[in-house]
Amino acid sequence: MINRDFLTTDGKEIASRRTEKVRPIVLETANELYDDNSELMKRLENL
């Protein structure tokens, strides 16, 4: 969890909100997309 500080809408106070840290796994996602679309990827390689 990460604390995020921000100004309130009236600009007079600093509030804090806890949010979860999200870190995408780019290579894993790219490999999954490639595998899911392997036929299309082969066609693109042959262009």
pLDDT by residue, tens only, the chain of 47 residues: 567 777 777 878 787 777 666 567 888 888 899 899 999 988 888 88
CB 3 within 8 A of CB 13: no
Q: Tell me, what's the pLDDT at 21? A: 65
- How far apart (Å, rounded) are the C-alpha atoms in residues 34 and 9? 44
17 occurs within a structural domain = no
Range of the domain at 33: 23-47
Please tell me the predicted confidence (pLDDT) of residue 25. Answer: 84
Decide if 31 is inside a domain.
Answer: yes
Within-domain flag for 9 = no
Residue 36: predicted pLDDT: 93
- Structure confidence at residue 37 (pLDDT): 92
Q: What values do phi and psi take at 2, rounded to 5? A: -125, 135
Total domain count for the chain? 1
pLDDT at position 2, please?
A: 66
37 lies in some domain: yes
The reported pLDDT for the residue numbered 1 is: 59
Q: How far apart are CA 15 and CA 4, in angstroms?
A: 8
